[in-house]
Amino acid sequence: MSSQPKMHKPRSQTEMGTKQMAHSGHIKITVMRYRPAQDDKPWPETFDIAWTYDMSILDALGVIKDDLRPELAYRWSCRMEVCGSCGMVINGVPKLACSTFVRDYVPQNGGTGEIVIGAMDNFPIEKDLIVDTQPFIEKLESVSPYIISKNPRALSDKEYLQTPKQLAKYKKYTMCINCMLCYQACPQVGLNADFLGPAASALAHRYNLDSRDDGAKIRFKMLNEEDGIWPCTFVGYCSEVCPKHVDPAGAIQQAKAQGVGYWAMDLFSKDSQ
């Protein structure tokens, strides 16, 4: 999986062929609406929106909310791929609305001319594009996501020291913004909501790789459970959609390799009792 940051740059004239690139116009945006008190299931509502070159999908939702449907519900905060709260499904692909641009869906720019926005329905939908994050948070908490040390240092001992090489071992896995896109992408999560899933597994692996931590044995008890890391079939789509290049699929495969050792140790200690 690539670890290079993805840049959102305008396509060049050569990439676009001889066609003129569109910088503004009108486009139809369909939003899947769901109001729990009234609706059995989500339903589509289409809006005609005037777009400009720098308009993100989040901006477009803002236009709909400000001018047309003040009750439309969706989450956002930072507008810059940091808070992780604007995850949704755009034309079937899990994406952050703040870093996805309307211009890329316009036919003159190589798009289909259609934008359909829905909630991440691998989670229970609460209203419109808002989903219940509690199951995800519980999974993160379940992997003991903190340093567990055999020799905890007193404050007077000052900080734990670590070399750049030790940091590099796990740094990639610290970049997660908890956007849940990987859970929406994961076919196993779709089949079994109890599966620990990509981000929580990557988080456990992040601490297991940390030179200051001695908690791997504790975490592997959880990772080795039926709904732990083993249901992952390495489809890898979770890593493809991850906006921060965390590569949760890679983390799970590495954790599986380590897990075999812990599983064997466990078995051996049970047999010798």
Q: Which does 102 bind (CB under 5 to 8 A by kind): ligand SF4, ligand FES, none?
A: none
Q: Does 57 bind ligand FES (CB under 6 A)?
A: no
Crossing angle of helices 134-142/198-208, nearest 10°? Answer: 20
Q: Does 131 bind ligand FES (CB under 6 A)?
A: no
Closest to ligand FES by CB, 228 vs 243, is 243
In angstroms, rounded to a whole number, what is the distance separating the alpha carbons of residues 180 and 96? 10
Residue 160 neighbours by CB distance under 10 Å = 14
In angstroms, rounded to a whole number, what is the distance separating the alpha carbons of residues 119 and 106? 22
Asked whether 247 and 1 are in contact (CB, 8 A), the reply is yes
Closest to ligand FES by CB, 184 vs 254, is 184
Q: Which of residues 76, 105, 183, 220 is near ligand FES by CB under 6 A?
A: 76
Residue 236, SS3?
A: coil
Helix (H) or strand (E) holding 90: strand 87-90
Pick from 145, 110, 108, 117: nearest CA to 219: 145
Site for ligand FES in 90-109 (CB under 6 A): 96, 98
Site for ligand FES in 228-267 (CB under 6 A): none
Q: Which does 116 bind (CB under 5 to 8 A by kind): ligand FES, ligand SF4, none?
A: none
Closest to ligand FES by CB, 177 vs 186, is 177
Closest to ligand FES by CB, 79 vs 212, is 79
Q: Does 78 bind ligand FES (CB under 6 A)?
A: yes
Asked whether 89 and 120 are in contact (CB, 8 A), the reply is yes
Q: Which does 176 bind (CB under 5 to 8 A by kind): ligand FES, ligand SF4, none?
A: ligand SF4
In angstroms, rounded to a whole number, what is the distance separating the alpha carbons of residues 175 and 159? 22
**Which parts of this chain interact with ligand FES (CB under 6 A)?**
76-79, 81-86, 96, 98
